Amino acid sequence: MIPALFLLLAGCAQGPGLDQRLSTFVGRSEGELVGELGVPLRVHEADGRRFLQFERRRGVAVAPPPGYYAPVYGPWGPRFGYWPPPPGIAMATCDLTFALREGRVESFSYRGEGCF
């Protein structure tokens, strides 16, 4: 009983959140950041800081609309059958922005429905 309960609870464990994953970049150099995340989409400089923006996209499954009944014509005439709709996929985006000062990551921010 106890080992089964332990395995059940271990199955519910989740990995680190986005804040924890991104905080590992704080203090690292711009080269390390680009090496890990790829080339930034946008770069902007202001007030002695450099801002690098990255964009992440991923497909997310969405609930399909309800199916419908439609006539099907066969060799014995029309009959009605159920036609389920195809599954849907939507694109979810997440914009990641890193602020660098003197070539080192100082802070980060993110926004979008795909940030998880």
DSSP 18: H
Enter the tokens of residue 96. Answer: 């990641």
pLDDT band, residue 74 (cuts 50/70/90): low
Q: What domains are there in the chain, each with its CATH number?
A: 16-58+87-116 (3.30.1450)
Are 78 and 85 contacting, i.e. CB atoms less than 8 angstroms apart?
no
At 19-54, the pLDDT tens digits run 999 999 999 999 999 999 999 999 999 999 999 999
pTM (predicted TM-score): 0.68
The structure tokens 């924890």 sit at 20
Are 43 and 50 contacting, i.e. CB atoms less than 8 angstroms apart?
yes
